[in-house]
Structure formats: structure tokens, C-alpha cells
Structure 1
Amino acid sequence: MTRLIAECSGRPGPWKIAAMVLSLALGMAAGADSLANFSRFSEPERTLRLRPDDAMALTTAEDRRRALVDPTATDIPVMATIARTALRSEPLTPVALRQLAVAEVMAGRQASSDRLLDLAHRLSRRELGTSWLLINRSLDQGDAAGLARSFDEALTTSAGAAELLSPALVDGLFDEGVRGALVPYIRSDRPWMPAFLRSAAAGPDAVSNTALMILAAGGLPDTPRYADTDAYVLTGLAARRDFPLAARYLRKAVRLPAGFTTNGAVGPASLDSRAGPFGWRFKDGAEGSALAGDGNAIIVRAEADRRVPVSDRILLLAPGRYALNLRGEVPDGRAPATAEVALRCIGSSTTDLIVGPAVIGTTSGPVNLPFAVPADCPAQRVEIVATGKAIDGEGELTLSDWRIDRL
């Protein structure tokens, strides 16, 4: 965690920014769990005019004030006085103990601050400000396990904690120690983890670290709550063009056969929704659609005189010469459609691999499409575009016997 701690102690980084965002919300979060105390929380200044020593109003007003202006050394006596006044009114108030802990650490009394913070934590596991200070203490101490434990507790017990804390935790995933500390929480299927992982996978800077963390956990728990998480991760890796890690993730985390990204077939692996963009994706629109047919086939449909992209997937072919083989046939009794099959490199100067693109018509004969993958083409996108040839209504074409052969 050395790099992570250094980033926190130096120039403002993602964790410091997250701390500022959190501080702005502490005034809104404090006391929100108690409807009976709503007026003391929502209008603390008004409450203080009636009851100057009201603990909740004092601490809420102080949180809101510090959310706007960071405390300085000259503020220490004021902070301590407010916190002690609140404690005299309502002894063992967690927020007041947390605020007093801040005043103590700013005065250089770390041991006293730690005792107050631990007491606040024992009194309430739902006080978000205390959780955040515990997280920062773990950072200062290089305690990745303690950091993960505090995040887990806050995200499990505090309403609104996910919105406030998850971005900071996502930003911390670059640190291997943090990722390793979170692995047990993936394996134990903590309730906040699925949403957190989807959020992390959506960030272009965090998706690779998210994938590495899931790989370290040996994959995701086999529960419905994670049903779309693998696809989120793989979509993010594809967008980042981190194809070597995507291939490893497909093999080790999703546990799909390694060859499915190179054979072009329409089978169980390439139709598995967990594969994300590395499996066949079918569109279902008013002007055209596609779906998997029986066996190794894709059925494409398009309205008359409409040319519509209906299906695509990503392949991971090594450099070399290949041939894409398939067969096109209009089912008996159906109006005709044609299909264009294009194969293009992703993330390289080479564009079309199958020049044309190849048009597959109504013949039932086999189609052989040779192509070459250059060295600067780490991944390839197959796309099917359907065109309706009916005079009126929808045309249909079945594309079967998909196979890629190395020449």
C-alpha cells in the first residue's frame, strides 16, 4: 500500500478528492437514520436557538460548517468545545466523539484521538464520519485488511455509504494490497460487492484492476446477483483494448474454453451471456433482428429494403492466414434476405480483413472467405448486416455451419 499512502499524503489525488466529497455529505448523512430526530438534523440552527446544548443539532451544524471550510489549527479549541458541550448534553454521542477525535489529532494527540475514535466506533457502526476516519487511519498505517474491513462495515450498515465511499474504493484498486484485502469479500458474497464491481468495471481506469481482483478470487460466486458482472468486466476490458487480460479472464474467471474465441462457431460458449462482447450479440429491432438457430446457426431478418446491423462479436485470432466458412440459406416458405459478413481489426491501422464485405445470398452452397490477420491486429470484430429482399414485409436468411480454419 506504499504508493496508495504516498498519494494520500501528497498532492490531492483521487482519495483526497473522495474525502472532500464525503465531507460535503457528512452533514446530510449524520443522524439520518432517526426519523424522530429529523428536525434537529434538518434545521440544526433553529434547534440551537431553542436548545443551545442540543447534541445532535450541535454536531450536525459543526459537520456542515466543516464541509464548507476545512478546519485549521485555530479552529481546534472551537471544535473541541462544541464536541464537549454535545457530550455533556448527551454522553457518548458517536458524532461528538468523532469530532473530538479530529480536534485531538489536529492538536498532535494521536493516542487520545485513537481512543475516542475507537469508542465512537464501538457505540455505533452506522456513523459514516467515523468509518471514514477509520479508513484513513488504516491508510496511514498501511493496513489494507483494516481498510477493507472498514469499507465492508460502512457499505453494509450505513444508508448512502455506497454512493459516498465506493468511488474512493474504486480509485484505490490500483494498489495490489487493497485488491488482495478485498478478495475475501468477493468470495464471501458480501451484499454490496456486485454493485461495487459493476461500478468499478464501468471506469476505464479501474476495469483492469477489477478483473485482476476477480481473478485473484478465483472468479465470482455462482449466484444470480452476479449474473451480468462478468459481461460488465469484459465489456470494459474490450473498450480499454486490454485483450490479453480479457483472454485470461474468459479462461480463468468465466471458465469458458480457450478455443471459443478463435473458432467462430455459434455454440454454448459463444452464446454464453457472461462472455460479453466476446460472444455473439444479437439485436432485436423494428427493422431487423438476429437470433441463434438450431445447432451452429444464426437466423437474420430484415424488413423490405432495409439494411440493418444485427449481430457482432469479438474474436482473438493470432496473426496468420485463415478462412471463414459458412452457409447461407433462405428457409422454405420465407421471403429472402441477404447478409454481409465483415471482419475488421480492432485497435490497429488495418481495417477490413474480409474485403467487401462479403455478401451471402440465397444460395444453399458453402461460402469460403479467406483472410489474413496481420501482426498489429490483436482482436477482430465480426459483424453481420442483414438486408431484406422481400417485396413487402420481412425477409429471412439462415447462416449456418460457422467455422474458421487456419490455412
Structure 2
Amino acid sequence: MRRSNKRSRFIKLLNSIGIVRLLLVLVAGIGGSSLIFALTVSGVTRIKNPQLALMFVPTDSSALAARADQLLFSSLKKPAPEVRSFARAALIQQAINPKALRVLGYYADAQGDAVAAETLVRYSARLSRRETGAQLWLIEASARRNDTQQALKHYDIVLRTKPEVQSLLFPRLVSAIEEPEVRAALIPYIKNGSSWTIPFLFYANANSGNLNVVVDLVLESGGLADVDAAKSQILGLLERLVKAEQFTEARRLYMGLPGSNPTKLKSVEFSNSDRTGEFGAIGWLLVVDPDAGGQFIESNAGDRPRLAIFANASTTRTVASKLLYLSPGDYQFDARVTPIDRGYGGSIRWQLRCAAKRSGTEIWTFDVVDATARDALTIPSNCPVQFLDLIASGGNGQTGLEAIISSVRVIRIAG
């Protein structure tokens, strides 16, 4: 009986020891889980919500720096002393903290200590090229010193490391290229094919209010290093110049391109460059939609292409157009047309109009009746740039118009 009681007490003691150990393990586990949870929350929120992160890990260097940055930008001109306190606390926890150093630099700048500000911001930029705020501050500092070369170095760093700031910096850079020294400083970046130069030139094409300086930059730099991007960018710029009626700049850009030929500016003859669209708005431009259009096809001889056109019934539309820089004077027009199906009332009309007026003043029209078309025309002195248009009409029948233009010429008459 006694032996049984002793065994019972021993088992109870073992059980109690096991329970204590289990409780200790559970407590340790709960503590570890809490720490992991705190660190996880801190890692997720320390940038977007540093206050929440600091509630879990008050010594998190990144969260301290982010909180300092948050307070700084809530009152940039007169930052609160807490900005400096949080930034310094971040540096105590992590001596190499670019954001904290940059915040202290901004704080010093707001206090009027320019020397300390530049020292701190430059140190921040050296520690991390991805510290965008430091690069932006250094751009401003370089601009204040009129140091274009240095400013562009910082532009290059920030645009390569943080492409999302393009919307902030591109408008400023577009304005800056009006200065010759800025364009000269940009040339190495364009030639070397820095990742941001392609989107920048496309942005300048679309948004610059002073397209002649964009033309200057393209011609002075020799264009983009990426051949396909360069071609696309230049064709886009040519198109915008023509739409903006900046014909002098369009001619200047075209003449600066490899393979350009001044005779193309005065010729309406079809060429393989028209078929491939090599020179964009300087060549023949074709309109194609479901109701009317044109398409270049190879000729039987394999030399100059021919132009196949069509227009559905009850449709009259310009299907092809060519920009010209013909001098004032008298000219002879020749064209060879092969009607495939004229339909009922279908017709082909050639039209010459002044390009320098948005209303498109007509100076000559000619309706084609025979296969060989010939007529005389005169370009007045107040019309230095022209468009030759080909207008197709499908008539009122069922089949519409189809035809092939074998050749077309405009020849100056001596006199």
C-alpha cells in the first residue's frame, strides 16, 4: 500500500515537471512567434507606414529613416526637430543609411547650412545611387552653379535607376534643351544609348513646344544608337513637323538623314523608299481604310513600284498624298493610269494645293479620263510648299473604282 502511494506521488511529480517544461516551451514559442510577427509587420510597413512598424520594432533603422522622411516632407521649408531626431536614431541603429543621411542633408538645407547639406547629401548619394532624393537635390545644386555636365550626370543616374521619375524630369529636360550647352552635354548620353534617351526623345517629339531645338538635338547628336528606335523617332518627328506646318524644319531634318536626296523634295515619282515608308512624311503617304485606299505594288520591270488604288461605291476620298517643295513657276504634269474597274460614275482626280495654309487652298485640279494624263499647271510665288493629292471616287454603281497608277511626274517648264 505504501509502495503504491510512493509510486503515485512520483508519477504526479514527473507529470508536474513535464507540464512545467511544456509551459516553458509554449511560452518560448509564443515569444518567438511574436518576435517573428513583429519583424514581419515591420518589414512590410516600415516604408509605407513607418509609425506602425515602429510600434512593433522601435529600433528598426529603415522605419526610423522613413518616419524622418515622412515628417520632413510634411513641412519641407520648416521641418520639425523630430525629423533630425528620427534620422539620427536611424543612423545609430545602422551607420550606413542613405535615406537618413539625405534627410539630415535636407534638414540642414532648411536651416540654412548649405555646406553641411551638400556634404550629407553627397555622402548619401555615394552610399546608394538609388537614393532618388539625393540625386534630385544634387541636380538642383548643380543647376544653381550652372554646372550642366554635373547636373546631367545626376539626371543620368536617377533616370537609369528610377525610370518612374521620367514624368518629373522629362518636362524640365525638354525646356533645358533650348540651351545649346545643354544639347551639347546630352550628346554623349544619346550616342552611348543610355536607357532613358529613347523615351526622352519620343517624349520631346510629342510634347516640345519648340520642335526646332528637338531637330537641332537629333542632328547634332547623330540620332539614337538603336537603329530601329532612331528610325521610328525621326519618322515620328517628321510627321509632327509636317502636321504643325513647320516645313522648313521638316526639310532640314530630312536632309540630315542618311540616304536623303534633295531631288525627292521636288519629285512625285514613285520609288522603293515610298513603298517601304523609309522617309515617312517626306515620301508618298497612303490612306487605307475599308472604303478607299492605296497600296504600292511591284512593277513588271521590277524597278519603280506602281500604285494600286480603290474606292467603294458612294465613296470619294484622298487615297495618296505627296509633300513637295517646288519653286514657283510653270510645270507639266504627266501620269499613266490603268483603270481596272471604273464602275458607274467612278473617277480619278489629281489636286495640287498649298501646304502652308490649313485650309489647303487648291491651285490646280485635273480629272483623269484617258490612260495617259497630261496637263499644265502654275505654282504661284506665295505657295513655296505644296501637297499633290490623288482623289478616288467610287461613283454610284455597285462595283466601285479600281485602278493602277503606273507613273506620275511633274516637270519644270523652262522659261
TM-score by length of 1: 0.81
Tell me what 2:319 maps to.
Answer: 310
Q: Distance in 1 between matches of 2:334 and 2:166?
A: 49
Which is bigger in relative contact order (C-alpha 8 A, separation at least 6)? 1
Q: Deviations over 1:239-293 (max 9, x none)?
A: 3333222211111135411121111122134445352322222222111121123
1:134 aligns with 2:138: yes
Q: Deviations over 1:161-193 (max 9, x none)?
A: 323322222222212111111111111122221
Pick from 83, 97, 103: which aligns with 1:93?
A: 97
Secondary structure at 1:405 match in 2: strand
Partner SS for 1:259: helix
Partner of 2:21: none
Structure 1 residues 159 and 296, CA gap change in structure 2 (3 angstroms): closer
Residues 1:328 and 2:323 aligned together: no
SS in 2 for 1:241: coil
- The percentage of aligned residue pairs carrying the same residue is 24
What SS does the corresponding residue of 2:371 show, helix, strand or coil?
coil
Match of 2:167 among 143, 156, 163: 163
The aligned counterpart of 2:188 is 184
1:364 is aligned to 371
Equivalent residues of 2:327, 2:379 under 8 A apart: no
CA distance change for structure 1 residues 224 and 55 in 2, over 3 Å: closer, same or farther? Answer: same
Q: Which of 366, 382, 386 is the matching residue for 2:388?
A: 382
**Of 102, 112, 118, the match for 2:116:** 112
Q: Please say which of residues 271-280 and 202-211 is displaced more in the overlay.
A: 271-280
Question: Retained in 1: the 8 A contact 2:337–2:403?
Answer: yes
Shift of residue 205 of structure 1? 0.9
**Which amino acid in the other structure matches residue 338 of structure 2?**
E
Counting only pairs closer than 5 Å after superposition, residues 5-404 of structure 1 correspond to structure 2 as 37-64=43-70, 67=73, 69=74, 71-72=76-77, 74-75=78-79, 77-221=81-225, 223-271=227-275, 273-293=277-297, 294=299, 295=304, 297-331=306-340, 337-348=346-357, 351-355=360-364, 357-361=365-369, 363-375=370-382, 377-389=383-395, 391-404=397-410
Checking the alignment, whether the CA contact within 8 Å between 1:289 and 1:301 is kept in structure 2 is yes
Structure 1 unaligned runs (5+)? 1-35
The whole-number CA distance in structure 2 between the counterparts of 1:53 and 1:312 is 70
Q: Is the 8 A contact 1:282 1:289 kept in 2?
A: yes
Does the aligned pair in 2 maintain the 1:173–1:206 contact within 8 Å? no
**2:336–2:405 contact (8 Å) kept in structure 1:** yes
Letter of the 2:234 counterpart: D
CA distance in 2, matches of 1:380, 1:38: 63
How far does residue 151 in structure 1 lie from its aligned partner after superposition? Answer: 1.6
**3-state secondary structure, aligned to 2:260:** coil
> What are the ranges of 5 or more consecutive residues in structure 2 without an aligned counterpart?
1-41
2:269–2:409 CA contact under 8 A, matched in 1:
yes
Q: Which amino acid aligns with 2:307?
A: I
Question: SS at the partner of 2:47?
Answer: helix
Aligned counterparts of 2:76 and 2:208: Cα–Cα separation in 1 = 34
RMSD: 2.8
Code of the residue aligned with 1:360 in structure 2: it is: V
User: Which residue identity is paired with 1:286?
Assistant: P
Q: Residues 313 and 399 of structure 2 are in contact (CA less than 8 Å); yes or no, is this contact kept in structure 1?
A: yes
Return the letter of the residue paired with 1:346.
A
2:115 aligned counterpart, secondary structure: helix
Greater shift, 99-108 or 37-46, is seen at 37-46
CA distance in 2: counterparts of 1:352 and 1:358, whole angstroms: 15
Change (3 A) 1:274 1:365: closer
**Which amino acid counterpart does residue 403 of structure 1 have in structure 2?**
R
- In structure 1, C-alpha distance between the alignment counterparts of 2:262 and 2:357, rounded to whole Å: 23
Asked if 1 retains the 8 angstrom alpha-carbon contact of 2:272 and 2:305, the reply is no
Using the alignment, how far apart are the partners of 1:42 and 1:373 within structure 2?
67
**C-alpha offsets along residues 106-147 of structure 1, whole Å, 9 cap, x if unaligned?**
333222222212211111112221221121122112122222
Q: Structure 2-normalised TM-score?
A: 0.79
What is the one-letter code of the residue matched to 1:207? L
